[in-house]
Amino acid sequence: MTTTAKTTASKPRNSGDIQHWDIDTDVAIIGFGGAGAAAAIEAADAGAKVTIFELASASGGSTALSSAEIYMGGNGGTPVQKACGYHDDTENMVNYLKACFGNQADDNKIRDYCENSLNHYQWLTGLGVPFKMSELKERAIMALTDDCLLFTGNEKAYPFTEHATPVPRGHNLEVEGDNGGPLLMKILTEAVQSRHVEVHYDSRALTLISNDKGEVEGIVVRIDQQEKTVRARKGVILCAGGFCMNEAMVRKYAPTFDRGLIPIGNPGDTGSGILMGMGVGAGTTNMHECFVSLPYYPPASLTFGILINDKAQRFINEDCYHGRVGYNALMAQRNAQRIYFITDVEGYGDYEKMSYLGAQVAGTGDSVVELEQELELPVGSLQHTVSEYNAGASEGKDPLFHKAAAWLRPLTPPYVALDCTLGRGPFYPFFTLGGLDTLASGEVLNPDGDVIPGLYAAGRTTAGIPRTAAGYASGMSVGDVTYFGRRAGISAAQK
Amino acid sequence: MTTTAKTTASKPRNSGDIQHWDIDTDVAIIGFGGAGAAAAIEAADAGAKVTIFELASASGGSTALSSAEIYMGGNGGTPVQKACGYHDDTENMVNYLKACFGNQADDNKIRDYCENSLNHYQWLTGLGVPFKMSELKERAIMALTDDCLLFTGNEKAYPFTEHATPVPRGHNLEVEGDNGGPLLMKILTEAVQSRHVEVHYDSRALTLISNDKGEVEGIVVRIDQQEKTVRARKGVILCAGGFCMNEAMVRKYAPTFDRGLIPIGNPGDTGSGILMGMGVGAGTTNMHECFVSLPYYPPASLTFGILINDKAQRFINEDCYHGRVGYNALMAQRNAQRIYFITDVEGYGDYEKMSYLGAQVAGTGDSVVELEQELELPVGSLQHTVSEYNAGASEGKDPLFHKAAAWLRPLTPPYVALDCTLGRGPFYPFFTLGGLDTLASGEVLNPDGDVIPGLYAAGRTTAGIPRTAAGYASGMSVGDVTYFGRRAGISAAQK
């Protein structure tokens, strides 16, 4: 599914060379995933003539492939949060997101996102997005029930508990199974259609059109094997996804993740929107970062286990979100040949039935000594790690990594080790978190920080709220994509 | 010394708007450090009229501030390597550099650099750069004697020993003290002057000039508070350094290093060359990476000690190059509140007299237990680490991290801990390793991989041989800067 082929020209066409405009619109949107749909709805509602160009034969993008929990809160709490007994301050949400992304955070976007999160909930439900007033309490990667609210990140894990009061903010759509993404895109697509937005499917955007002053005036698209020129009188919005499907771009910009991870997204995530933006002088940011995961739960019971490197050292509190754990596991492998998940039989539980992980059993042992030998770990190393861990766990403490007491109990024989080494079985999915440098308004900036007139972007074509897997939570990307898609649509329409 | 001020416009001036050219040359070079000097010499020797524009009042750039060991070898060995009894295969050098930079490496540049390394040695000595036929055998950050050859990287450390035969490749100039950089720049400057290259000091390059086709035709510079237009008939070479002095750029592109590290370089390292290149559509690569160091030797005797995090876990073999150790220490601090260097009194040795580190004594102890308590480490954690380390060391082994036997001996009481935590005293210097995407020829590429006509770049304005502190060796940057500066000069002159 990946490509190294150049699919777009980064260099723009000059509008002075355009003899004829085949299509004339106010707002041209490239990409009909979550960002493009949200942008189209808002731009149309603001009175603009809107035209979408989508590479695939249907709407959806990567949003439709996702679970589409949507990360919302603050403002005292969304109706679902309130119904489930949670209060959520906006400042608490801001503090949490800042703790998640540190000096990689875009503080302006975080504030804007949090202050308007309740509004975004209302906008979504206004379009018919259904949320049940219920909570899913188990530790899960996604809700397979139609329950709404769940903890989808590191809210309850150290060190985030030092920075913000834990509140669940993942909002799962009211639908059984992992079907939130398709349902969300169905609703957004219907909303687009009901606004008589013009949609061209099977249309490849080839390059932007700009004038001598550097203002973006349109795009060149290929439809039915014919090049068409599109005049966009108010602006072009790039919502073309990230670049996880473009191996050459991943290697160049995010080499840490160019190590055989599995890209998750749609085949159009080739970075074409980013490249087109760069071609008209747009700056980029956070290009080196990706989401990555080691999805070791379900079963949640594995959280009682410990993750170790080839020195039998633990390196992360195992009650973190799978993205944070995956990120740390990936980083640990720069100086480790093996990564193992050590569990006892009780923790192993329904692993074989429930897991998405794909990790093979690397060893078993009736004692730690036996397991240590089977894994060829340094003599005494695993014995020390387990005995220290168990000593703390028996008192509900984890002095080294501060795993929460709820996930602490001594590990008891017999033991099982899962091989979590990259390239030896386990599923390490990834997608990109860097892109065009944009304001919260969706306006695209050049490297000097000046706005490029006529150009907007949203979704994973930009760097948004989520900046690193180490602070990611499920729902942050779909939340960012839909919210900032809306803002870009409004900005373009009001030009 | 750092700045967030915008000093250049990324957007180019259009040559169609230029009424008058104030200066007319073949090759315009921005920056008179090591890269610019090497480019000027080669361009002039190829028959081009060359003009240099330097922001400062003198030549030098960051090369003059460096120790200027030059990383050379392969081809059977340089005369110095041979005189000191070393044989160095080109493939061995290629393998080493590939091991250093992994999937971040530019394999084409590495091969070109290694195959022509002996030629580069001869070019340098032909200009009068003096190298003594002698070796400095002690573990040092730089040679303070006039000896030439020394191991300046991780050549003798695990895991690099698994990939290449250790050979020293750092070539220190024949000068007493840390004066290699000034001497190298003095010689290169005289070589430039003897070629009647025109040099404008106190000249700030403001922006590039390009035509409607995107070809670079010149630059706008400010000299004596007046804007001057410069026509460069064969090309512009950007040799304006990296961006460690530009806080906003570091935060945007290399946030991992935006944590209070100390930038090392000259005040002009504001990324202006990179921004100008981006303004005409140049691609960038490796922007997220920096050199960083924890200069804990000299005294070399500290290498007998161990570096630990706040769980008393070791995380790197301490016989690595200080850059690799610094990189790993910095990364470790994403999940650790403290980093300590643990030594015994013998290892501590002349620390107070010789060290550049600036780390304060965080604790001492007549026993490991006492030190563990004083450092408030988890009970038993340091005891385990030291006892395991000592058990291995007494047999000349380090089963966990493979520190070489030469640096292994049991640590004996009393003990000293140095606080190596970022922000608590120790010196963590950094400079940037990302920049414009260039071919080995110095031609600058756009994000599609197409050459931008008329634009060349070299030095830390580009991403060159060194790509991460984890694989860096002293001399790689000055080696890269001078070698690829030459190539850019030749390429431009031959246009």
**Residue A311 to residue B255, Cβ atoms within 8 A:** no
User: Would the pLDDT of A8 be above 80?
Assistant: no
Percent of chain A past pLDDT 70, that is, above it, reads 99
Residues of A in contact with B401 (CB under 8 A): 311
**B255 contacts A102? CB cut-off 8 A:** yes
DSSP secondary structure string for all residues of B184-232 = HHHHHHHHHHHTT-EEE-SEEEEEEEE-TTS-EEEEEEEETTEEEEEEE
3-state secondary structure of B475: coil
A152 has a pLDDT exceeding 50? yes
- In chain A, residues under CATH classification 3.50.50.60 are 1-287+431-495
What residues of B are in contact with residue A335 (Cβ under 8 Å)? 315-316, 328
Counting one residue from A and one from B, how many pairs have CB atoms under 8 Å apart? 110
Element (H, E) at A206: strand A203-210
Query: Which residues from chain B sit within 8 angstroms of residue A13, using beta carbons?
Result: none
Q: What pLDDT shows up at residue A391?
A: 97
* Element containing residue A14 per DSSP (H, E): strand A13-14
Cβ contacts (< 8 Å) between B384 and chain A: which residues? 384, 388
Say if the Cβ atoms of A381 and B401 lie within 8 Å.
Answer: no
Tell me which long-range contacts B223-231 makes (C-beta under 8 A, separation of at least 24): B223/B53, B228/B22, B228/B23, B229/B18, B229/B20, B229/B21, B229/B22, B229/B23, B230/B21, B230/B22, B230/B23, B230/B24, B230/B25, B230/B28, B230/B51, B230/B53, B231/B21, B231/B23, B231/B24, B231/B25
**Bridge partners (DSSP) listed for residue A456:** A237, A443
Which chain A residues have a beta carbon less than 8 Å from that of B389? none
More confident site: B10 or B71: B71
Angstrom distance (rounded) from CA A348 to CA A357: 13
Residue B11 corresponds to which amino acid? K
Residue A260 is encoded by which pair of tokens? 């055989």
Closest CA to A172 of A138, A206, A195, A201: A138
B369 token code pair? 């237990």
Name the segment(s) of chain A with CATH classification 3.90.700.10: 300-419
Give CA–CA dist A62/A281, Å, rounded: 26
DSSP bridge partners of B229: B220
Helices (H), B280-427: 322-332, 345-348, 351-354, 368-374, 381-393
Q: Determine whether the interchain pair A103/B258 forms a contact, defined as Cβ–Cβ distance below 8 Å.
A: yes
Model confidence pLDDT, tens digit, residues A158-181: 999 999 999 999 999 999 999 999
> Mean pLDDT for chain A?
96
Token duo for residue B19: 């009424």
Q: What are the chain A neighbours of B290 within 8 Å (beta carbons)? A: none
CB contacts, 8 Å: A11 with chain B = 214, 281, 446, 448, 450
- Interface probe for A, chosen from B160, B448, B452, B455 (most Cβ of A below 10 Å), is B448
- Asked whether the beta carbons of residue B447 and residue A9 sit closer than 8 angstroms, the reply is no
Q: Which residue of B has its CA nearest to A451?
A: B11
Asked if pLDDT for residue B10 goes beyond 90, the answer is no
The chain A residue lying nearest B277, using CA atoms, is A281
Mean pLDDT of B287-307: 96
Closest Cβ opposite residue A447 in set B10, B212, B288: B10
Q: Taking CA atoms, what residue in B is nearest to A381?
A: B388
Asked whether the predicted pLDDT for residue A157 surpasses 70, the reply is: yes
How much is the pLDDT for B238? 98
Tell me the C-alpha distance between B335 and B341, whole Å.
17
Chain A hits for B313, CB-CB cut-off 8 Å, are 311, 313
> What mean pLDDT, rounded, does chain B reach?
96
- Residue to mutate among B7, B246, B315, B445, with most A CBs inside 10 A, is B315
User: With an 8 Å Cβ cutoff, are A378 and B384 in contact?
Assistant: no
- Among chain B residues, the shortest Cα distance to A271 is held by B447
Q: Are B315 and A335 in contact (CB < 8 Å)?
A: yes
Please determine, for residue B218, whether its predicted confidence score (pLDDT) is greater than 60. yes
Q: CATH classification of A300-419 is 3.40.50.10480, yes or no?
A: no
Chain A hits for B14, Cβ within 8 Å: 212
> pLDDT (tens digit, 9 = 90+) per residue, A268-304?
999 999 999 999 999 999 999 999 999 999 999 999 9
pLDDT of residue B7: 60
Cβ–Cβ under 8 Å, residues B434 and B289: yes
Superfamily of A1-287+431-495 according to CATH: FAD/NAD(P)-binding domain (3.50.50.60)
Q: Are A230 and A51 in contact (CB under 8 A)?
A: yes
Which ranges in chain B are annotated with CATH 3.50.50.60? 8-289+432-495
Chain A residue with Cα closest to B14: A212
In the structure, how many helices (H) and strands (E) does chain B have? 14, 21
Report how far apart, in Å, the C-alpha atoms of A135 and of each of A92, A145, B219 are: 20, 10, 62
Considering only the beta carbons, identify the residue of A281, A288, A313 that sits closest to B10. Answer: A281
Quick one: pLDDT at residue A495?
87
Starting from the edge strand earliest in sequence, which strands make up the sheet with A149-150, in order?
A: A70-71, A170-171, A149-150
Nearest CA in chain A to B102: A255
Task: Provide CB contacts within 8 A for A370, sequence distance 6+.
Answer: none
What CA–CA distance (Å, rounded) separates B366 from B291?
Answer: 37
- As given in the structure block, the two tokens for residue B55 are 């922001």
Of B304, B433, B302, B287, which Cα lies nearest the Cα of B361?
B302
What per-residue confidence (pLDDT) applies to A4? Answer: 45
Q: Do B285 and A378 touch (CB under 8 A)?
A: no
CA-nearest residue to B378 within chain A is A399
Nearest CA to B456 out of B477, B441, B435 is that of: B441
pLDDT at A9: 74
Least CB-CB distance to A446: which of B10, B401, B437?
B10
**Candidate from B281, B331, B384 with C-beta closest to A331:** B331
Q: C-alpha angle with apex A258: A257 to A259, nearest 5 degrees?
A: 95
Instruction: Specify the pLDDT at position A142.
Output: 86
Residue of chain A minimizing CA distance to B249:
A447
Residue that the structure tokens 């809306």 belong to: A486
Is the distance from CB of B241 to CB of B478 less than 8 angstroms?
no
Q: Which residues partner with A228 through β-bridges?
A: A221
CA distance, residue A160 to nearest chain B CA (Å):
12
Per residue in A181-218, pLDDT (tens digit) is 999 999 999 999 999 899 999 999 999 999 989 999 99
B29 Cβ partners below 8 Å, 6+ apart?
A: B36, B39, B40, B43, B50, B51, B52, B53, B236, B237, B239, B489
Chain A residues within an 8 Å CB radius of B275: 447-448
Give the nearest partner residue to A447 out of B255, B278, B470, using CB atoms.
Answer: B278
ipTM: 0.93
Q: Give per-residue pLDDT as tens, A328-361.
A: 999 999 999 999 999 999 999 999 999 999 999 9
Q: Inter-chain contact A388–B384, Cβ cutoff 8 Å?
A: yes
Model confidence pLDDT, tens digit, residues A24-77: 999 999 999 999 999 999 999 999 999 999 999 999 999 999 999 999 999 999
In this predicted structure, the answer to whether residue A226 has a pLDDT above a threshold of 90 is yes
- Whole-angstrom Cα distance, residue B475 to residue B67? 8
CATH topology of domain B8-289+432-495: FAD/NAD(P)-binding domain (3.50.50)
B119 min Cα distance to partner chain A (Å): 29
Mutation to test the B interface, candidates A98, A208, A446, A462, most B Cβ within 10 Å: A446
Rg (alpha carbons) of chain B, rounded to whole number: 23
To test the contact with chain A by mutation, choose from B4, B11, B276 the residue with the greatest count of A C-beta atoms within 10 A, namely B11
d(C-alpha A1, C-alpha B313), whole Å = 41
Of the candidates A490, A485, A487, which has an alpha carbon nearest to the alpha carbon of residue A458?
Answer: A485
Q: Which of B4-13, B22-31, B69-78, B471-480 has the lowest mean pLDDT?
A: B4-13
Please check whether residue B8 is in contact with residue B275, taking contact to mean a CB–CB distance below 8 angstroms: yes
Q: Do A212 and B214 touch (CB under 8 A)?
A: no
Nearest by Cα to A424 from A375, A387, A379: A375
Given a cut of 90, whether residue A420 has pLDDT beyond it is: yes
Cis ω before A298 (30° cut-off from 0) = yes
Q: Do B275 and A448 touch (CB under 8 A)?
A: yes
Query: Are residues B328 and A335, on separate chains, in Cβ contact within 8 Å?
Result: yes
Best residue of B256, B320, B445, B467 to probe chain A, by most A CBs closer than 10 Å:
B256
Which chain B residues are within 8 Å of A468, Cβ to Cβ? none
| Chain A residues touching B9 at Cβ < 8 A | 448
* B410 preceded by a cis bond (ω within 30 of 0): no
Contact A399 B384 (CB under 8 A): no
Nearest CB among B259, B288, B313 relative to A288 is that of B288
- pLDDT over 80 (residue A2): no
pLDDT single digits (tens) A451-489: 999 999 999 999 999 999 999 999 999 999 999 999 999
Shortest CA distance from B451: residue in chain A: A11
Confidence label for B410 from pLDDT (cuts 50, 70 and 90) = very high
* pLDDT at residue B266, rounded to an integer: 95
Q: Read off the pLDDT of each residue in B126-144 and give the average, rounded to a whole number.
A: 94
Test the B interface: residue of A208, A318, A334 with most B CBs within 10 Å: A334
- Do strands A262-263 and A429-432 pair parallel, antiparallel, or not at all (unpaired)? parallel
